Amino acid sequence: MPVREGPAQPAPPPKDETPAPYPAEKARGGQIVLRTRGRRAIFIGGLVGIVLLVLLLKLLG
């Protein structure tokens, strides 16, 4: 069993209870960029596909 030699270390300084503010620009979520017709079609197709999948699962289960 190791034995500590020398004086004890001082306790760390107390931390502030309130966290530092985080800028809103950094906290903001991503942005969906649908500039081309193809990207829009894929995005809308995915949304429609999810809705159809949910409806199908409700009908079968």
Q: Are 1 and 12 in contact (CB under 8 A)?
A: no
3-state SS record for 30-48: CCCCCCCHHHHHHHHHHHH
- Specify the pTM: 0.47
**pLDDT (0 to 100) of residue 38:** 96
> Coil, helix or strand for 18?
coil
Tens-level pLDDT at each residue, the chain (61 residues): 677 788 888 888 877 677 778 887 777 777 778 889 999 999 999 999 999 999 999 999 8
